[in-house]
A and B are shown apart, each in its own frame.
Chain A
Amino acid sequence: MGKTAAEKIFSNKSGVDAYAGDYVVSSLDYIMVNDITGPIAVDAFNTIGKKPVKDKIVIIPDHFVPPKDINSAIQYKKVKDFAMDNDIDNFFDLGHGGVCHQVMMEKGFAAPGRLIAGADSHTNTYGALSSISVGIGSTEAGVIFATGKMWFKVPETIKINISGKLNKGVEGKDVALYVLSKTGHDGATYKCMEFSGSAIGDLEINERMTIANMTTEAGAKCSFFNTDSKTINYLKNRVRGDYNIISSDDDAKYESIINIDAEEIEPSVAIPNSPANVRPLSTVNVEIDQAYIGSCTNGRIEDIRKAAEILKNHTVNKKVRLMVVPASQEVYNQALSEGLINVIVQAGGYFSGTTCGACLGGYMGVLGPNEVCISSTNRNFIGRMGDKTSKVYLANPKVVAASAILGRIGSPEEI
């Protein structure tokens, strides 16, 4: 019987002939933790009393970095001390790292055929580079520090086939939201979401990363995109070590297949309080207090270029604060050298160093009571970015930039 890509990668990494539903103990290529999930992983690791599998451990402080208060400084210091004491090479400190998932991809940890675990739910993102990458908890991350292995249930796969050509103005984010409107907030729980079709092939890697990132919001265990010339091109000069290109067999068994005609998809907004609560952009007219471009979803250089293109020779509405937060130091440096930061700040936007801060209501852009934010991030749960009465709308970065100028949620075509 044929296998899905997920079944093949779990088989390769566990050394057994595994199919969906089987429990396996697999070797991981990498285990990533951040400053929130890392401290608990370190505690778990310390109780096991083994030496760490150093080469597999990647530590990327990002959530509350630079530290927002003394308690977050203590957590950050704990993962840093662990990295220093154990001589962990892959520790990405302030000034070298960024939002953990962006760093995992741009520093070449994610690559085809690899199995990666990350103690952060949006670890699904590396499916864009044909990895199987799975979000896990902290205790189990600590166990991987000690053993290099973890238990998994091999997931069933939902195939999402998007044929035809995407409409003008439709981005990866809109594709992600459209798919979420089909699956709902839990429609892919425990499953792998595999994307295929001509519209997916047409999308650049950064747009695929956005889609992969948001499979988490459908409950998915992981995502998978086939390797093509765009993947290989992205990996060039980045990837560490060899990789193994894997794809699903023609006779693989899928849990279900969702066929989508690309022309059905239009620029969209997820309205409060679920990323699956999706409406066409044209039907949403809401005044905003904050516009946020950043995060592992849409804080890449391409996203900042799009924002700068819209903001050029315009001014941010005086009722609105626009915040642009690059997803990594590399993205920051690139934006600096391309002059994009100048464009954004001259329009009245605020451009900061990299952090997850505002996306999870941590710091650096927390919303007050009843405030409304249009955001390029991935979640709009109650109180996600601040006070429990604040509201978050999710959209692509062009829509966020245009809305910042308009003072309400609107389309780039209005600029």
Chain B
Amino acid sequence: MLNEVKGKVWTLGDDIDTDAIIPAKYLVTSDPKELSKHFMEYNDPELAKKIEKGDIIVAGKNFGSGSSREHAVITIKGLGISCIIAESFARIFFRNAINLGMPLIEAKIDVKNGDEITIDFEKSRIYYNDKSQEFTKYPKFLKNIIDEGGLINYVRDNQW
């Protein structure tokens, strides 16, 4: 797992649902490149073009609510997002992200679009705008899955 992530922030609001992240009409493919073109396009058709590899999403509560579509995480991975920080995550989105090895952090931080922030996973701290904030570590069970790069690697290496 990455020890440190540095990146530019894109802020999103509360209750961002999976239909907003990737509308159902695009679920005819699971190709990350194709899906990522349409990220949040109902809210901002230009957003996907503006996001660069390594950027970080900072959202409000209940991020990823709605459907079970793993395409939501695949879309965000396709953009090259390095980490998602949200006040809280919806349940299946959380599972999908863990299982695909996408780092998530549950925290509320006061940042705006374009801010550069640093996440130190080792110390469980986020550094932003001359401030820093601790976040809760993953339970060991989940950390093991993320450290292996996702569920597939984890079950290959561990007997269930």
A residues bordering B, Cβ < 8 Å?
23, 25, 36-37, 39-40, 43-44, 47-48, 63-64, 69, 71-72, 74-75, 118-121, 123, 135-140, 142-143, 146-147, 149, 151, 185-186, 189-190, 219-221, 274, 360-362, 379, 381-384, 388
Q: Which residue of B lies closest to A137 (CB)?
A: B96
- Stretch of B3-11, B14-22, B48-56 on the interface side: B14-22
Contact of A361 among B24, B152, B160 (CB under 8 A): B24
Which A residues are in CB contact (< 8 Å) with B142? 23
Q: How far is the CA of A40 from the CA of B150 in the complex (A)?
A: 15
Chain A nearest CB: distance from B154 CB in Å? 9
Contact A121 B68 (CB under 8 A): yes
Contacts A69-B28, A137-B95; A149 near B70 (Cβ below 8 A): no
With A71-B28, A189-B88 given, is the CB distance from A382 to B68 under 8 Å?
no
B90 contacts A by Cβ under 8 Å: yes
Tell me, yes or no, whether B29 is within 8 Å of chain A by CB. Answer: yes
Kindly state the interface size class of chain B when it binds its partner.
35 or more
Name the residue of chain B whose CB is nearest to the CB of A39.
B30
Contact, CB under 8 Å: A382 / B20: yes
Residues of B contacting A140 in the complex (Cβ-Cβ under 8 angstroms): 95-96, 99, 151
Whether the pair B150, A23 counts as a contact (CB closer than 8 A) is: no
B-chain residues with CB within 8 Å of residue A143 when the two chains form the complex: 151-152, 155
What residue of chain B has the Cβ atom nearest to residue A382's Cβ? B42
Residues of chain B whose beta carbon lies under 8 Å from any beta carbon of chain A:
15, 17, 19-20, 23-25, 27-30, 42-43, 61-62, 65-71, 73-74, 88, 90-92, 95-96, 99-100, 139, 141-142, 145, 150-152, 155-156, 160
Query: Can you report 24 residue pairs joining A to B where beta carbons are below 8 Å apart?
Result: A36-B69, A37-B68, A39-B30, A40-B30, A40-B70, A63-B24, A71-B28, A120-B68, A121-B67, A136-B92, A136-B95, A139-B96, A139-B100, A139-B150, A139-B151, A143-B155, A146-B155, A147-B160, A151-B141, A186-B61, A190-B91, A360-B24, A361-B19, A362-B24
Residues of B within 8 A of A63 (CB): 24, 27
Asked if A381 contacts B20 (CB within 8 A), the reply is yes
- Check if B151 sits within 8 Å of A64, measured CB to CB: no
Partner of B68, one of A48, A74, A119: A119
CB within 8 Å for A388 and B152 given contacts A361-B23, A362-B25, A382-B19: no
The answer on a CB contact under 8 Å between A383 and B30 is: no
Q: How far is the CA of A219 from the CA of B25 in the complex (A)?
A: 23
| Beta-carbon nearest neighbor of A69 in chain B | B28
Could you tell me the distance between the alpha carbons of A257 and B27 in the complex, rounded to whole angstroms?
38
| B99 & A139 in contact (Cβ 8 Å cutoff) | yes
A383 to B62, Cβ gap below 8 A?
A: no
Q: Name A64's contact: one of B28, B91, B155 (CB within 8 Å).
A: B28
Q: Of A48, A140, A221, A384, which is in contact with the most chain B CB atoms at under 10 Å from its CB?
A: A140
Could you list 12 further interchain pairs (A-B, Cβ under 8 angstroms) beyond the known A23-B141, A37-B68? A39-B30, A64-B27, A72-B28, A118-B68, A135-B91, A137-B68, A138-B70, A140-B95, A147-B160, A189-B88, A189-B91, A384-B19
The reply to whether A135 and B62 contact each other, CB–CB distance below 8 Å, is no
A360 nearest in chain B by CB position: B24
Residues of A within 8 A of B69 (CB): 36-37
Measured between alpha carbons, how far is A143 from B142 in the docked complex, in Å?
16
Q: Which residues of chain B have C-beta atoms less than 8 A from A121's C-beta?
A: 66-68, 92
- Residues of chain B contacted by A44 (CB below 8 angstroms): 152
* Residue ID in chain A nearest B61 by CB atoms: A186
* In the complex, chain A residues whose CB is within 8 Å of the CB of B139: 23
Q: Are B17 and A137 in contact (CB under 8 A)?
A: no
Please tell me which one of the listed residues A118, A139, A384 contacts residue B70 in the complex, with CB atoms under 8 A apart. A139
Please give, as numbers and ranges, the residues of chain A lying within 8 Å of B25 by CB-CB distance: 361-362
Please state if B17 and A381 are interface contacts (CB–CB under 8 Å). Answer: yes
Q: How far is the CA of A151 from the CA of B99 in the complex (A)?
A: 10
- Contact: B160 with A149, CB < 8 Å? yes
Shortest C-beta distance, B10 to chain A (Å), equals 19
CA distance A338 to B138 in the complex (A): 55
Which 3 A-B pairs have CB atoms at the shortest separation, nearest pair first? A71-B28, A137-B96, A186-B62
> How far, in whole Å, are A222 and B160 apart by their CA atoms in the complex?
24
Chain B residues, Cβ within 8 Å of A64: 27-28
Q: Please, how many angstroms separate the alpha-carbon atoms of A119 and B25 in the complex?
A: 18
